[in-house]
Amino acid sequence: MDTAQPPSLRGPAEDGRPAKGKLRPGSSLERKKRLIAWAFMLPLVAVNVLVILGPALATVYYSFTDWSGLGAAEWVGFENYRDILSDGDFYGALWHNVLWTVFFLTVPIAMGLLGAFLLSRITRFQMFFRVAYFVPYVVASVVNAALWQNILDPDRGVGSALAGIGIPWLDGVSFFGDQNLALPTVAFVDNWHWWGFVVLLFLTAMQSVDKELYEAAKMDGAGRWQQFLNVTLPGIRPTLVFVVLMTIISSLLVFDYIYIITQGGPAGATEVVATLMYKEAFVRFEAGYAAALGIGMSFMGGLIVLLFLYLRRKGWEI
Amino acid sequence: MGDLSVAERRGRAGREPSKIPYYVVLSALAFFALAPLLVLVFNSLKSNAEVGRNPLGPPTSPVFENFPTAWAQGNFATTLVNSTILTLGTVVGVCVIAGMAAYAMARLDLPGTDGVLLYLFVASALPFQLFLVPLFFLWNTLTLTNTLFGLVVIYWAIFSPFATLLLRSYLVALPRGFEDAARIDGASEWQVFTRVVLPLSWPGFLTIALVSALGAWNEFFFAVTFIQDDALKPVSTSFLAFQSQFSQDWGLTSAASILIMLPVVVLFLLLQRRFIDGLTAGGLKG
């Protein structure tokens, strides 16, 4: 259970507690202490139950009904789930989630490893680069989206600017309007705000790799690439695995950039399961069906985490 | 002697390759990160006519009237207030909720701490898909949709699990000596918490405050779902409507973009180390 936590959230070992041997476990003072401790938890528990846990359990229930969002819900058993499994739109959307996952498992992780490795080998201007890479991450998604919609504009964007200096291939290309280009382009925009964050995750991990390992590798005549493969990558493996796991799950659930930029269009070319679910719930008022989609996605995410934990228990060093 | 040092120098040069290629690649990445933002600043200073002639380059005759126009047309006097209320409400609430919970786990020997930690970790990673639909209709029933308070409560719930985990690991690392001394002097648990623990742990609180402030200010999904009333929209969702209305007026949309990102970017540049440490601690994809 502890393994699912990112390393940095694990607190140091809790030792050095004050001696409390004088209190017997059943004493009223001990009971009062427990009550006080749970009283401090009350606000957290209250909002959590109200917003997350209660509605999450309700989702399980509604996924077995024909609820429209208003009024009574009639029990329909597994009908919603059967409908999902025979819904062509669902498979199309899920396929886009898979493509999205492939993109985010390769491009930002490669950029993150490259940036972090280079940053870990320099000292001068390191702080400047760290800040520069991180700035897009703090800018609001709506602003990032608008910014790239301008830059990639078919008539006035970077394509026509390149055509002006003799590179005509991108001129007039409608990146967000073309059915084949829309999904990779939205992924590109999302990645622009995301990769710098990955750099800093990897950099933090790389900075804790033992410097002497690099020295030893150099003594053995290892070049930069071999140092990266044999020292850096093994040294940051826990962070790398964590980023991979998180990427898979968040790609399964991606919503924001797609909803903001294309809303699933053109002609469903960027529809993912989350945008499909949103439309089922709030446009078509198929709340029961949307709930089943939500359960399905959460189930898949949970399955991936369990698979990861299973492999770790099996002795895979991840 | 001289021979040796030359050999030594040569040996070192052979082992320490030049760093220039590193800086070239790093600068190219920095260009990729910053150039689009630079274009945004350029465009916010151009008249519509100049955007047509020169859509990406620096402005030749900078104008500033996009900012007051965007301020008025984008209704920023209202939406900035809404976003500020949302952000402050979220920050204060998350600090209180997470502060109390983290204190209970780190210091009050909460029974079942391991189970709570697991639950918090799961809760901070739970997809909104799992609870969105019933939550929306529950909020409708409670007449909390189209209210800032209703949205703030959602932000409390989604930001506090992570904040609690972060703060707990911070509190666990703090020495207990001062607290025990205060208890010996007869302080109650509440006094120990407010008079001793809070003043000592402010860096942890600052970190979770920054992380949840950024989250609330930029949050889009719950804001667009739960607030339809224009008078209550925060900057993020109101900008989306503004942008579709003025999509051809790049000067105006760029100026509005800058109004939205300026508070965050300035705060980030002032406190970047704490921002980066706090945000990378959890590695949540935003």
Q: In total, how many domains does chain A have?
A: 2
Average pLDDT over residues B183-204: 86
Note whether B39 and B146 are same-domain residues: no
Note whether B107 and B156 are same-domain residues: yes
B5 found inside a domain: no
**Residue whose token pair is 């390992």:** A213
Note whether B170 and B34 are same-domain residues: no
C-alpha A183/C-alpha A189 separation (Å) is 10
Nearest C-alpha neighbor of B224 from the set A93, A141, A292: A141
Note whether A43 and A155 are same-domain residues: no
Note whether B110 and B41 are same-domain residues: no
Most confident region among A23-27, A96-100, B10-14, B63-67 by mean pLDDT: A96-100
Note whether B116 and B257 are same-domain residues: yes
Average pLDDT over residues B78-95: 96
Token pair, residue A275, equals 């945008």
Note whether A43 and A143 are same-domain residues: no
Which pLDDT does position B47 carry in this prediction? Answer: 87
Q: How confident is the model at residue A7 (pLDDT cuts 50, 70, 90)?
A: very low
For chain B, what is the mean pLDDT?
A: 86
A11 found inside a domain: no
Note whether B77 and B53 are same-domain residues: no
On the question of pLDDT at B98 being above 60, the answer is yes
pLDDT per residue over B223-237, tens digit each?
999 999 999 999 999
Looking at chain A, the whole-number percentage of residues with pLDDT higher than 90 is 45
On the question of pLDDT at A26 being above 80, the answer is no
Note whether A177 and A42 are same-domain residues: no
Looking at chain B, the whole-number percentage of residues with pLDDT higher than 90 is 45
Among A47, A136, A143, beta carbon nearest to B33: A136
Which one of B30, B45, B63 terminates a domain? B63
Note whether B56 and B171 are same-domain residues: no
A79 found inside a domain: no
Note whether A154 and A46 are same-domain residues: no
Chain B partners within 8 Å of A70 (Cβ): 137
Q: Are A83 and A289 in contact (CB under 8 A)?
A: yes
Note whether A41 and A151 are same-domain residues: no
On the question of pLDDT at B3 being above 50, the answer is no
pLDDT per residue over A63-89, tens digit each?
999 988 777 888 998 999 999 999 889
Q: What are phi and psi of A68, to 5 degrees?
A: -100, -5
Q: Which residue of B has its CA nearest to A261?
A: B240
Burial class (CB in 10 A: 0-12, 13-18, 19+), A130: buried
Note whether A306 and A163 are same-domain residues: yes
Which one of A41, A57, A73 terminates a domain? A57
Give contacts of B 103-162 with A, CB under 8 A: 103-104, 106, 108-111, 114, 116-118, 121-123, 125-138, 153-154, 156-158, 160-161
Chain A partners within 8 Å of B108 (Cβ): 33, 36-37, 40
Chain A partners within 8 Å of B104 (Cβ): 37-38, 40-41
Q: How confident is the model at residue A260 (pLDDT cuts 50, 70, 90)?
A: very high
pLDDT per residue over B133-174, tens digit each?
899 989 999 999 999 999 999 999 999 998 998 898 888 888
Note whether B101 and B215 are same-domain residues: yes
Which pLDDT does position B15 carry in this prediction? Answer: 54
Note whether A48 and A94 are same-domain residues: no
A306 found inside a domain: yes
Nearest C-alpha neighbor of B194 from the set B209, B182, B204, B184: B182
For residue B133, give its domain range. Answer: 68-282
Note whether A258 and A160 are same-domain residues: yes
Beta bridge partners of A65: A75
Give the ipTM: 0.84
Note whether A238 and A189 are same-domain residues: yes
Note whether A268 and A173 are same-domain residues: yes
A36 found inside a domain: yes
Q: Distance (Å) from the C-alpha of residue B253 to the closest C-alpha of chain A?
A: 8
For residue A125, give its domain range. Answer: 88-313
Q: Are B210 and B275 in contact (CB under 8 A)?
A: yes
Chain A partners within 8 Å of B194 (Cβ): none
Chain A partners within 8 Å of B156 (Cβ): 47, 51
Chain A partners within 8 Å of B254 (Cβ): 147, 150
Which one of A36, A57, A78 terminates a domain? A57
Note whether B143 and B275 are same-domain residues: yes
Inter-chain CB pairs, A–B, below 8 Å:
304
Average pLDDT over residues A246-256: 89
Does residue B34 belong to the interface with chain A, where contact is any CB pair within 8 Å?
A: yes
Which pLDDT does position B17 carry in this prediction? Answer: 67
Q: In total, how many domains does chain B have?
A: 2
On the question of pLDDT at B107 being above 80, the answer is yes
B9 found inside a domain: no
Among B29, B135, B166, beta carbon nearest to A115: B29
Q: What is the DSSP letter of A4?
A: G
Note whether A118 and A197 are same-domain residues: yes
Give contacts of A 110-169 with B, CB under 8 A: 111, 114-115, 118-119, 121-122, 125, 128-143, 146-151, 153, 156-158, 160-161
Please report, for the domain that includes residue A144, its CATH number.
Answer: 1.10.3720.10
pLDDT per residue over A30-51, tens digit each?
888 888 889 999 999 999 999 9
Does residue B182 belong to the interface with chain A, where contact is any CB pair within 8 Å?
A: no
Q: What are phi and psi of A165, to 5 degrees?
A: -105, 20
Average pLDDT over residues A206-218: 88
Does residue B94 belong to the interface with chain A, where contact is any CB pair within 8 Å?
A: no
Chain B partners within 8 Å of A142 (Cβ): 220, 236-237, 239-240, 243, 260
Please report, for the domain that includes residue B161, its CATH number.
Answer: 1.10.3720.10
Note whether A30 and A174 are same-domain residues: no
Question: Which residue of B66, B133, B137 to mutate against A (max A Cβ within 10 Å)?
Answer: B133
B1 found inside a domain: no
On the question of pLDDT at B10 being above 80, the answer is no
B7 found inside a domain: no
Burial B107-146 (b: 16+ CB within 10 A, else e): bbbbeebeebbeebbebbbbbbbbbbbbbbbbbeeeebbb
pLDDT per residue over A180-193, tens digit each?
999 999 999 999 99
Note whether B241 and B126 are same-domain residues: yes
Say if the Cβ atoms of A134 and B37 lie within 8 Å.
Answer: no
Note whether B33 and B75 are same-domain residues: no
Chain A partners within 8 Å of B169 (Cβ): 8-12
A303 found inside a domain: yes
Note whether B42 and B159 are same-domain residues: no
C-alpha B101/C-alpha A39 separation (Å) is 9
On the question of pLDDT at B281 being above 60, the answer is yes
Q: Are A219 and A275 in contact (CB under 8 A)?
A: no
